[in-house]
Amino acid sequence: MTYSVIWKPAAMEEDEKIWQSASDRDAILRAMWDIEARVRNDPNDVGESRPNDQRITFATPLGVLFEIDHAIFKVEITSAWAIRQV
């Protein structure tokens, strides 16, 4: 089953700040698309588990935390940050 992917407002704000300051904005967009594609198809096999039922994954130059709601096939990106200068 395909999961819907939602970016919480705080995660979108963080991502927007990274994108605004990036010298390679396309790299940020590619990383977002990569992360979304991976968690949409099989979120349990993406990244590593973290406390409080969260998972972490990376797509250079971004890192994100996300939560999975299996009951309604939804993934929420809860936090985003730059993992290297872009």
The string of pLDDT tens digits covering residues 15-66 is: 999 999 999 999 999 999 999 999 999 999 999 999 988 999 999 999 999 9
On whether the CB atoms of residues 63 and 81 are closer than 8 A, the answer is yes
CATH superfamily of 4-82: RelE-like (3.30.2310.20)
Residue 85: pLDDT above 80? no
In eight-state DSSP terms, residue 68 is E
pTM over 0.75: yes
Domain boundaries, the chain: 4-82
H helix count then E strand count, the chain: 2, 5
Would you state the pLDDT for residue 86?
Answer: 53
